[in-house]
Amino acid sequence: MTIFGIAAIGAGLAAIGAGVGIGKIGGSAMEAMARQPEMHGKIQSSALILAAFVEAVALFGVVVALLQAAPTA
Amino acid sequence: MFVNSFNVRTFAANLKQGIFKPIRMKINTLKNIVLSTLFIAVFNISFASETKDGGDDKKFDPKDMIMHHVQDAHGFHLWDWNGHAVSLSLPIILWTDNGLTTFMSSAFHHDDSGKEVVERNGAKFVKLHGKIYQLNEGANTVAFDDKHHATNASKPIDISITRNVFMMWVSVFVLFLVFITAARSYKKSENNVPTGIASFIEPLVVFVRDDIGIPMIGEKRYKRYMPYLLTVFFFIWINNIFGLIPILNGANLSGNIAFTFTLALFTFIITTFSGNKNYWQHIFWMPGVPVPMKIFLMPIEIIGIFTKPISLMIRLFANITAGHIIILALMSLIFIFKSIGIAPVSVAFSLFITVIEIVVTAIQAYIFTILSALYFGMATEEAHH
């Protein structure tokens, strides 16, 4: 297997982790909004921020995979 | 090789009359938009024969195509027509040993493999993988080592107006146009009722103030940071949107790490310089924990100062670049399978991803702004005991 294939698997693993994380955030946010509809706006904005934090970790994985895949100049 | 390069000054004049005249009539203060006409007068559309040897036999390489779209380039390659590339060329500005050297990127005739040698100002230049190289003294053609690196050429200091720089200027121009028009409409209206474009801008500005500035920084101090937050929000948003316009051919500005680095650097500088005593105390000597823990926390907090802007930089860069790559990868499925049957699937999927990306343009601008505001809020927070 080439190094590109290994990098792609790494990016996929990072995506799994981010999927679990964002799923948990989204699920809890929905639950909280259903319990307290008056807090809808606040919960949504903090859920978005937290999703961005989780997503950043997956994106670090993607960037590393890209660095492996990109032709070295 | 046949080259038919014509300068389109008459075309520019028509464009000026057709597009800019109504705008000028509206905004009297912007009469001297010399900049915009200068840009267009500088370009010439060139039809040059492509240095393609294989033709259709050449195997399609999606990775190569995608990387070309995502990276910066000297000029806009619009489409191929009858085997000729139709492109907008941009000025190349180099700082060499003989001083400033400028020429148009059309001089290379779309060559990207270092075959076309351009001689200007006593030096020879070639374009190789999107970068300009200067040939050494006495060399007439570029030579390669076994790893396909140029052996007898070096890179001069390149301060060209590349397509990313060009798109940045376009978005700055559009932002000026929109916001100056909005500001003028407020001056005209009697009791500050928004009219025209201002009624579109005002909810967004109020959103940045009420949902980003005030909750993150606080009622007392948010006003100092509003100009920066608004600038960053609208600038990132408009550049994200421009990146999605297909004809502009992947002017992937907000997916360029240098661009996001500069924005993150601004946030870093503002955070560092607006940090109060309380902020620095929490970094160097965390109050309320035992002394061994204080020593243990200090290096972690110092690293934290730098990881915050770095994560801002990577987040915007990777989000936008990943969006572009996914859309292009879905489109290149047609060429990988070499079948028209896959086209409806490919187009449907890339349309779906494009719609998601339109949402992402706004979300990423929002995330960058709200996190910047959060860091400013952390830096200016008063001690509470």
Q: Could you tell me if residue A51 is inside a domain?
A: yes
Alpha-helical regions (H) of chain B: 9-15, 21-26, 34-42, 62-70, 163-188, 198-207, 214-217, 222-243, 257-274, 277-284, 291-337, 343-380
Q: Specify whether the CB–CB gap between B177 and B30 falls below 8 A.
A: yes
- Contact between chains at B317 and A63 (C-beta distance less than 8 A): yes
- Contact between chains at B370 and A49 (C-beta distance less than 8 A): yes
Q: Specify whether the CB–CB gap between B71 and A73 falls below 8 A.
A: no
Interior/surface letters B287-319, b for 16+ CB within 10 angstroms, e for the rest: eeeeeeeeeebeeeeeeebeebbebbbbbbbbb
Q: Specify whether the CB–CB gap between B128 and B121 falls below 8 A.
A: no
CB contacts, 8 Å: A15 with chain B:
none
Chain B interface includes A8 (CB < 8 A):
no
> Which pLDDT score is estimated for B251?
72
CB contacts, 8 Å: B370 with chain A:
45, 49
Interior/surface letters B145-177, b for 16+ CB within 10 angstroms, e for the rest: eeeeebeebeebeeebbbbbbbbbebbeeebeb
- Contact between chains at B363 and A49 (C-beta distance less than 8 A): no
Domain of residue A49, residue span: 3-67
* CA pair distance B156, B304, nearest whole angstrom: 37
- Contact between chains at B67 and A70 (C-beta distance less than 8 A): yes
The larger pLDDT score, comparing residue B126 to residue A47, is at A47
| Alpha-carbon torsion (B228, B273, B377, B317), positive or negative | positive
Number of domains in chain A: 1
> Which pLDDT score is estimated for B205?
94
Classify B101 as helix, strand or coil. Answer: strand
Backbone angles phi, psi at B139, to 5 degrees: -85, 140
> Which pLDDT score is estimated for B88?
79
pLDDT digits (tens, 9 = 90+) for B139-182: 777 777 766 777 777 788 888 888 889 889 999 999 999 999 99
Beta bridge partners of A56: none
- Which residue in the block uniquely carries the two structure tokens 């924005």? B263
Does the complex come out with an ipTM higher than 0.90? no
Pairing of strands B123-128, B76-81: unpaired
Order of strands, sheet of B123-128, starting from the edge strand that comes earlier in the sequence: B118-120, B123-128, B131-135, B153-154
Q: Which residues of chain B have pLDDT under 50?
A: 1-55
Q: Which of A41, A60, A73 sits opposite B314 (nearest CB)?
A: A60
Nearest to B315 by CA among B377, B250, B367: B367
pTM over 0.80: no
How much is the mean pLDDT over chain B? 79
pLDDT digits (tens, 9 = 90+) for B302-331: 999 999 999 999 999 988 988 888 888 888
Chain B interface includes A3 (CB < 8 A):
no
Interior/surface letters B331-350, b for 16+ CB within 10 angstroms, e for the rest: bbbbeeeeeeeeeeebeebb
Joined tokens for residue B204: 């967004």
- pLDDT-derived band at A38, boundaries 50, 70, 90: very high
CB contacts, 8 Å: A49 with chain B:
367, 370-371, 374
Whether the predicted pLDDT of A68 surpasses 80: no
> Which pLDDT score is estimated for B385?
57
Nearest to B308 by CA among B254, B258, B272: B272
Q: Could you tell me if residue A72 is inside a domain?
A: no
Tell the burial category of B30 from Cβ atoms under 10 Å away from its Cβ (0-12, 13-18, 19+). Answer: middle
pLDDT digits (tens, 9 = 90+) for B45-78: 333 333 344 445 567 777 777 877 888 888 777 7
Joined tokens for residue B246: 């297909």
Per-domain residue ranges of chain B = 43-160, 165-380
CB contacts, 8 Å: B321 with chain A:
66
* CA pair distance B165, B171, nearest whole angstrom: 10
Q: Specify whether the CB–CB gap between B241 and B346 falls below 8 A.
A: no
* CA pair distance B107, B118, nearest whole angstrom: 7
- Contact between chains at A63 and B314 (C-beta distance less than 8 A): yes
The CATH number given to whatever domain includes residue A33 is 1.20.20.10
User: Alpha carbon B76 to chain centroid distance?
Assistant: 14
> Which pLDDT score is estimated for B105?
79
